[in-house]
Structure 1
Amino acid sequence: MKKYLLSISFAIAITAATLAQRTPQASPAAIVMQTVGVTDFTVKYSRPSIKGRRILADSSVLAPYNEVWRTGANQATTLESGTEFSFGGKKVPAGKYALFSIPSGAAWTIILNKNFTQGIDAYKEADDIARIVVVPTSAGYTETFSIDFSNLTDSTANLNLAWSSVKVPVQISVETQTLTMASLNKAVAEKPEDPATMQTASGYLLSKGKDLPQALALADKSIGLKETFSNLWLKAQILNKLGKVSEALPIAQKALTVGAASGDNAFASFYKGQIEKGIAGMTAKLPIVKEAASVVKGKKKKK
């Protein structure tokens, strides 16, 4: 019994000691992760609160004007990117960087520095990888310093610094199409007999309206490896986009038949309606296509 009580006491003591090691921080840590296209961005920082103090002003207690600020609290704020990107118009290699800033009323200087483990005391301008000037805007009051992403597209975003009634948006962009095509070309080269890989590459080209003959060749290869309602429907859409409606229609109809027999839930819940709508659109085009062709033939005969 004594041994049992001693064991319990020891366990409680260990738990208490472990809990005692962690206390609330004045400026708690935060992580912001955002994907832009195929590029992952991660920001790690600590969030100071105003708490009635003077900030963002000449000789202020926090983030004084015209002095290098760690853009947060505690250790250096960091920004990490999985690919090359543009930071306010400046090209930056993939990697991890310290994010510093120099606040000012008219314009902020935003800095990415190669030494991401440093503090303010060790900052060297010679290690800057990018230094840009950004005009701040007015915003709703923010008690606790915040960093977030907004205005997302598949290749651009704003990285926003917000505190008090100030917001500083930094434009970020990535070469998503170039990166995606490089990745898809590599996948096609490495898996030339994988129908899903062929279909993915073909579908991306169609979505961007680029190199449609190549998209069609990839769709055909996917169908040759393994015919499915989805790659048949993909081929029909490419042919339709190329203006070959009379060729696209029977393939779309076949996609509908194959899909109905597949028992695939994705077909019933998503593809079926999409294909039926596509077939209706193609059917409506056919009389116009035939009429245009007959007009052209008539003109040739007159000559």
Structure 2
Amino acid sequence: MNTTTAGYTPPRRRIKVSHKLRCSLGKAFTIPHDESMESLLSRLQKDIFSELPPILRLRTEDLAEVIDIAFIRDGDQLVIECEGDRLYEEWITLNVGGTLMTTTRSSLTKTSPESVLARMFAEQNNSLAPSLRDKNNAYLLDRTPRYFEALLHYLRSGSLVLDPGVNPLGVYEEAKYFGVKEIISELESRVEESLCRDTAPLSRREVIDAIISTSNIEKLRFQGVNISGADLSKLDLSNINFKHANLSNCQMTGTNLSRCNLERANLSNATMDNAQLVAVKMACADLEGASIRGGKFEDPEGTAANMEGLLSSKPFYLIHC
């Protein structure tokens, strides 16, 4: 049974239609109840937006395509898509762990097209919905800014650059999380190199750099540091804390070690001939196989060197003057 009252005509639907680039404020008009989609698009083109390129389709405010005019409700606000339009904004702001980063859509999609970011922000065939937005309309990403920044630089330029102090392991985790496969192997190599550097002994050059960068009123601390095998001959290392440091096989001929703290340091097979050892603290140091021929221990002020509890299962040579 037809429940529609005879002679009743449904009211016109009042809608607002805008064009993102050329009519952002929009224009309001009504749709007859019996109008088809083809007729509506034709009327929009001819009577309302005649200055625009050919109108292809109508979309909702969130850019979903309207495929059936029956879905248009009274009070809807719609967007027209014209031939040649770029529906999506090119500039995108990301809120990465509280830090705002602005980039372009093409930067996020061109370098690594199969990545999570590319799939989120692609203009077409985007298989992942973008993340939620904050109150400023920036896309929220719960990631660490300093590591994501290196990943973003790669997506922009195609080159992987890590600023000093940036752990490659952190960037590696970002690349894995976002599926940027193009740099995974390179980051794995950098992580391995970083781990090797962390365990490698310091060189003479690195020790000199540390001395130069430390003021005279500051005490340099090398406690527990590995400096094994380095040539430290004739350097002024006075007043440095070498407690528990590994100085095995170091060449320290003529080196000034006065007032150094060498307690429990590994000095096995080290050569300290003619070294300045005034008021040195060497308690429980390992001097197995070490040579200290001609070492100078006398302090004009009378402070004695402390060499209690020296460790050595093999002879070491101590001839001081």
Normalised TM-score (structure 2): 0.28
Give the structure with the larger helix fraction.
1
Give the structure with the larger strand fraction.
1
Greater relative contact order, per chain length (Cα 8 Å cut-off, separation 6+): 1
Structure whose alpha-carbon radius of gyration is higher: 2
